[in-house]
Amino acid sequence: MARRGSAGGPDGLVIIDKEAGWTSHDVVAKLRGILRQRRTGHAGTLDPSATGVLLVGVGKVTRLLRFLQDTTKRYEGDLVFGAQTTTLDADGEVTATFAMDGITLATAQAATKEFTGHILQTPPMVSALKVDGKRLHQLAREGIEVERTPRPVRVDEFSLHETDDPLRFRFTVTCSSGTYVRSLVDDLGRALGGGAYMASLRRTGVGAFTLAEAHLLGELADRAAKGEQAPDFSGLLLTPAEALRGMASVVVDEAAVARVANGLWLEGELSPISLGSVAILGPSGDLLAVYEKGASGRLEASVVLHAAGTA
């Protein structure tokens, strides 16, 4: 069961199945009240119209969210050929239409190869990226379009499936963090000599976490209502160690626990580990800290959850 946090609420990771109409910020704000924990944040924004996996850190786990941010994402959704919109999805206004009735699954699937692998992608104007201190989507609402620098992203899978509508296809995308699926769809339409927009989007996985273990906000609200004085969120909140289950981990003995609590570098058999980040677990399996390889080549403390002198 997740621990009670020092700020009066629990510590843990909750996997939310975000419903359409909610912003990621809305979800976090709602959970602050449900969990009675002020320290709450999310990893990986989902647009209001998108649904699916949203990772929310609670209490001490908010300090671990940066390690969950840059993980592989998995999506499924629908795209429609024959039109372009201002937002590259169904929420925008149609700006152009194209005769694409003759498109086939084979032709469209072959075109996705151009957008698979390590590619450069130009962020859409309807994104949260900042230019001169202002988010692109704010500029877009003002009718301002600015030049954006293409960024490297990785697309591991971009597959299409037919539907009853000859212009509507189901898609599956597996990609790196920072990839804009709506841009993939728009680029695919242009590559086929016309246009396309994203009709729906559902995130089915983030790193090691999937929809199979996600919870609706209502489920947590019901649990809180039933235990008004002391809500029981066991089974809903993952422990800090479980939150980093996709990360390489090392179990240290009691002799090393004090060194970790003081944020000291680790030596002996741990020093040769050539990994980006390592979860340091105590003898009982609790997450003590996250260490990263420093300039010296030794594992050095990046985040210490159980510092010396704290409860």
Catalytic residues: 47
- Please report which residue ranges of 203-253 form alpha helices under DSSP H: 217-226, 240-243
**Distance separating alpha carbons of residues 151 and 209, to the nearest angstrom:** 26
**Distance separating alpha carbons of residues 16 and 128, to the nearest angstrom:** 21
CA-nearest of 56, 67, 65 to 9 is 56
Give the tokens for residue 13: 């990771």
Answer whether 86's CB lies under 8 Å from 92's CB. yes
Task: Report CA torsion sign: 82, 163, 114, 211.
Answer: positive
Answer whether 96's CB lies under 8 Å from 195's CB. yes
Give the tokens for residue 18: 């975000």
Radius of gyration of the chain (CA): 22
Give the tokens for residue 67: 């390690």
266: left (phi over 0), alpha (psi -120 to 50) or beta: beta
